[in-house]
Structure 1
C-alpha cells in the first residue's frame, strides 16, 4: 500500500494536489483535493502496463473548463430540483436556479466548485484512504444551513475503491451527494463506450418532463432501451435513443440498494476489464455524454458517447416526491452514504 502527493495546478489561485493511492496489486486511484475529483483509476494490463478506467487528463483546466462536472463530487443535492424550491417540515426554501428554472447538482457553487480541506490520510496493511472535508454556508451556495461534509476514499487490496459521505448541519437542509465520474474501460483506440456491456439491477426508470424533472411515474424497463437486466452492449441500447433530443441517455433508474449485491456493472469484453458498482441508495442516474460540443468538454477530439457517468444517489427531486426517499438533514443528526466500485482486470 502506498500514497503519494503530486502538485496538480491551481484553481482560482489555490494550489491543487493529487493524492495517488496504490494497493499491493498495482491498482491506483488518483484523487484531487479540488472537488474530490477522481482524476484516474488505473488497473494493471496483461502486457505489464496500466489502463485507466475513467476519462482522464493531466491538465486541471480540462476538468474545470467543461460543463460535464467531470469526475467530481456533487452536492449538496445531486441531480435536479424542480423550480429550485422545496419544503422541509412545511417551511419553503428557494435556491439558485442554474439550469433554466431548475437547480442542477447543488447550484453553480456546490461541492464540485471548491478545493476541499485534506483532513488526513491513513495507511494500513490492507487499505489506504484519503479524507476530505468542506463546509458550505447559505452565502456560498444558497442552500439553508451551514453544512459540514466529509468524504473518504478508501482503496483496499481486494481492488475495491469506496467513497463514504457524511454530513452535519446547523439548520434544516438537504443532502443527496454523488460522484460524477465518467467511465470508459475500452482500449485507447476505442473512442466510445459502444462496445461495453452494461448491467443494472433495476426494473423501472423514472418518467421525466422536458426539463428532465421526474413526473412521479415509474416506467417498466422491460421491452425498452432502458432494460439492462442482463448485460447489454451499449451500442444496441443507444441506437434507438438516437432519435431522442438527447441522442442517448440522461435518465434515472430505480435500483435495489446494496453494498453486497451489484447495483450495476460495466465491462469490456475485449480487454476483460470490469467495474462493479455498489450503493446503499435507490437511484442511479446515467448520462452517456451525448454532446459533441467542444466548449462542453475540451479533452482532445470530442464526440458523443466517449464515457458514461453512473451517479449513485437517492432518486432525484425527492422533495417533490416523498415516495422516492428522504434527503432532509436536520441539526443534531448525521447522514452517511457509501458508494463502492470493484474492479477486475
Structure 2
C-alpha cells in the first residue's frame, strides 16, 4: 500500500494536489483535494498496463471548464430542490436558485467548488486512506447553519474503494451528498457506453416533471427502458430513450440500500472489467452524459453517452417528499453515509 502526492495545477490561484492511493494489486485511485474529485481509478490490464475505469484528464482545467460536476463530491444536497426552498422542523428556508427556479447540487458554491483541507493520510498493511474536510456557512452556500463535513476515501487490498461522508452542524440543516463520477471502463477509444452492461437492484423509478423534479409517484421499471433488473446492454436501453428530450437517462431509481449486496453493477464484457456499487441509501441518480457540449470530458474527447454518472444518495427533493427519506441534520448529531465501489479486472 502506498500514497503518493502529485501537484495538479491551480484553482482560483491556489495549488491543487493529487493523492494517488495504490494497493498491493496495482489498483490506483487518484483523489484531488479540489472538490474531493476522483480523478482516476486505474486497474491492471492483461497486457501489463493500466486502464482507467472513469472518465479522466491530466489537466485540472478540463474538469473545471464545464457545468457537469465531473467526478466531484456534491453537496450539501445532491440533485434538485424544487423552487429552491424547503421546510425543516417548522422553519422555512430559501436557497440560491441555480437551475431555473430550482437549486441543483448544493448551488454554485457547494462542495464541488472548493479546495478541501486534507486532515490526514494513512497507510497500513492492507489499506490506504485520505480524509478531506470542508466547513461551509450560510454565507457560503445559502443553506442554513455552519456545516463541517469530512470525506474519507479508503482503498483496500480487496479492490474496494470506499467513500464515507460524515457531517455535523451548529443549526438545523439538511445533508444528502454524493460522488458524481462518470464511468466507462471500456477500451480507451470507446466513444460511448453503449457496449457496457448494467444491472440495478431496483423495481421502481421516480416520475418527474419537466424540470426533473420528482412528482412523488413511483413507476414500475418492468416493461420500460428503466428496467435493469437483469444485466442489460446500455446501448439497447439508450436506443429506447432516443426520442426523449434528453436523448438518454437523467433519472432516479429507487434502490435497495446495502453495503453487502450491489445496488448496481456495470460491466465491460470485452475487457472483463466490472464495477459493483454499494450504498446505504435508497436512491441512485444515473446520467448518461447526453450532451455534446464542447466542454472537455475525457482526454479531449466529447461525445454524447461517453460516460455514465451513478450518483448514490437519498432520493432527491426529500424535503418535499418525507417518504423518500430523512436528510435532516441537527446540532449535537453526526450523520454518516457510505458509498463503496468494488472493481474486477
In the superposition, the TM-score normalised over structure 1's length comes to 0.99
C-alpha contact (below 8 Å) 2:166/2:335 kept by paired residues: yes
2: CA distance between counterparts of 1:189 and 1:59? 19
Q: Which residue of 2 aligns with 1:26?
A: 26
Q: Which residue of 2 aligns with 1:264?
A: 264
Give the Å deviation of 1:189.
Answer: 2.3
Matches within 5 A, 1:178-189: 178-189=178-189
Q: 1:54 to 1:211 in 2, by over 3 A?
A: same
Q: Does 1:172 align with 2:172?
A: yes
C-alpha contact (below 8 Å) 2:56/2:298 kept by paired residues: no
Give the Å deviation of 1:122.
Answer: 0.5
Matches within 5 A, 1:154-173: 154-173=154-173
2: CA distance between counterparts of 1:72 and 1:38? 7
2: CA distance between counterparts of 1:311 and 1:230? 20
Give the Å deviation of 1:293.
Answer: 1.4
Give the Å deviation of 1:188.
Answer: 1.0
DSSP 3-state at the match of 1:243: coil
Matches within 5 A, 1:105-254: 105-254=105-254
Give the Å deviation of 1:297.
Answer: 4.6
DSSP 3-state at the match of 1:143: coil
C-alpha contact (below 8 Å) 2:40/2:56 kept by paired residues: yes
2: CA distance between counterparts of 1:264 and 1:91? 36
Q: 1:28 to 1:298 in 2, by over 3 A?
A: closer
Runs of at least 4 residues of structure 1 off by over 3 A?
295-299
2: CA distance between counterparts of 1:5 and 1:216? 45
C-alpha contact (below 8 Å) 1:200/1:264 kept by paired residues: yes
- In structure 2, list runs of 5 or more residues that go unmatched: none
Give a deviation string over 1:80-137, Cα, whole Å, max 9, x none: 0000000001110000000000000000000000000000101000100000000000
Q: Which residue of 1 aligns with 2:307?
A: 307
C-alpha contact (below 8 Å) 2:86/2:319 kept by paired residues: yes
Bigger shift: residues 208-217 or 183-192: 183-192
Give the Å deviation of 1:303.
Answer: 1.2
1: CA distance between counterparts of 2:190 and 2:153? 29
Q: Which residue of 1 aligns with 2:339?
A: 339
Q: CA RMSD in A?
A: 0.8
Give the Å deviation of 1:191.
Answer: 1.3
1: CA distance between counterparts of 2:173 and 2:262? 30
C-alpha contact (below 8 Å) 1:95/1:143 kept by paired residues: yes
Give the Å deviation of 1:301.
Answer: 3.0
2: CA distance between counterparts of 1:297 and 1:237? 22
Residues paired across the two proteins, number: 345
C-alpha contact (below 8 Å) 2:62/2:296 kept by paired residues: no
C-alpha contact (below 8 Å) 2:195/2:235 kept by paired residues: yes
1: CA distance between counterparts of 2:318 and 2:286? 17
In the superposition, the TM-score normalised over structure 2's length comes to 0.99
2: CA distance between counterparts of 1:27 and 1:217? 41
Q: Which residue of 2 aligns with 1:68?
A: 68
DSSP 3-state at the match of 1:319: helix
